[in-house]
Amino acid sequence: MNEIIEKRMLSEGVIQLTVYEPRIAAKCQAGQFFMLRVTDRGERVPFTFSDWSREEGWIRFIFMVVGKTTSLLSELAAGDYIKDLAGPLGRPSLRSHDTRRPSWGNDFEGLQQGGSVVVVGGGVGTAVAFPVARALCEEGYQVHVITGARTAELLILEEELRALPLASLSIMTDDGSAGSKGLVTAPLKELCSSRSVSHAIIVGPAIMMKFAAGTALDAGVPATVSLNPLMIDGTGMCGACRVSIDGATKFACVDGPDFSAASVDWAELMSRQRSYIDDERESHAAHQRHVQEREHENCDCFDESSLWARGFKKGGWAT
């Protein structure tokens, strides 16, 4: 269990891992995530399923190296084992019409069965957007996809997206090195203004989701976003992932991660995401020093830098 059976470097700092985990592969659905620990003293971090095979028993995810735990993860190779994985967690993006499966996914406001929808993925968010777009295609929707990245090297899953029976695929890069030059909001505005779609599903960094959702909402198209607040347990007990939705407190790990974009308190989400940024930078820098000195295997930086330790030091998570 938990053996990495394939590792692919998709671009500088963006890695795809395929892990043998038949129990999770048997159950996961588009939009759900899992939590992993790299070592038995490490923090638990969430990642979204980008693909899976129920027959072969593997799950796949794509991650960007942003801090200490993702650095540790990037050091693993095919044949290594991930310490532990828990999932699937969170609500699936789609409400299943198969009565044999739990149907607790989203009701996409304004979207009729078989209607037209646009799925927008920014950066590594495309890893989350891809299985959602695929599931929508399988359920018979007309699916438009917009994927964007800073440069051509950072674009992911282009081949996989091209293999889907999409109504359209728009590729955007900030510098014009692939697809069209510009932001995902340009083709999104066009699709929404021409009333070609009746719902937008947007996944990416919070700031990108905020502006892309604003574009859709301004054109009168309801939007769903996949929120990524800090998480600790992923099961609704610690309160770390709380977000305000229409003024009510929700936990992204059990009530989400998908929410109606019009209801999200973006300022609070982004401020809470930055709560531990100094500690995160410090712990990443300490880890990099340990890696350079080849000493990190026996150091105590796991305990000191873990979100658990920091959360308790700062007086608990639910506040």
Ligand X SMILES: Cc1cc2nc3c(=O)[nH]c(=O)nc-3n(C[C@H](O)[C@H](O)[C@H](O)COP(=O)(O)OP(=O)(O)OC[C@H]3O[C@@H](n4cnc5c(N)ncnc54)[C@H](O)[C@@H]3O)c2cc1C
Nearest Cα to Cα of residue 124 among 213, 47, 212: 47
Tally of CB atoms within 10 A around 142 = 18
Choose between 18 and 32: whose C-beta lies nearer to ligand FES: 32
**Cβ closer to ligand FES: 33 or 302?**
33
Among 1, 66, 237, 267, binds ligand FES (CB under 6 A): 237
- Tell me the one-letter amino acid at 209: M
Q: Would you call 157 helix, strand, or coil by DSSP? A: coil
Decide: is 276 part of the binding site for ligand FES (CB under 6 A).
no
How far is the first Cα of the chain from the last one, in angstroms, to the nearest whole number? Answer: 36
Phi, psi of 267, deg, nearest 5: -60, -45
305 Cβ contact list (under 8 Å, min separation 6): 43, 68, 279, 282, 283, 286, 287
Q: List beta partners, residue 258.
A: 226
Q: By CB under 6 A, tell whether 227 contacts ligand FES.
A: no
Give the residue with the Cβ less far from ligand X, 124 or 161.
124
Nearest to ligand FES of 90, 123 (CB atom): 90
Q: If binding is defined by CB under 6 A, does position 36 make contact with ligand FES?
A: no
- Residue 50 beta carbon to ligand FES: minimum distance, rounded to whole angstroms: 21
φ/ψ (deg, to 5) at 183: -100, 160
Among 47, 61, 251, 266, binds ligand FES (CB under 6 A): 251
Q: Which of 93, 108, 121, 122 is nearest to 31 (CA)?
A: 93
> CB of residue 62 vs ligand X: minimum separation in angstroms?
6
Part in contact with ligand FES (CB under 6 A); list of ranges 90-98, 218-226, 237-245, 278-286: 237-245
Using CB under 6 A as the binding rule, whether residue 232 contacts ligand FES is answered as yes
120 binds ligand FES (CB under 6 A): no
Contact residues toward ligand X (CB under 6 A) are 33, 45-48, 61-64, 66-70, 124, 127-128, 228-231, 257, 273, 280, 284, 307
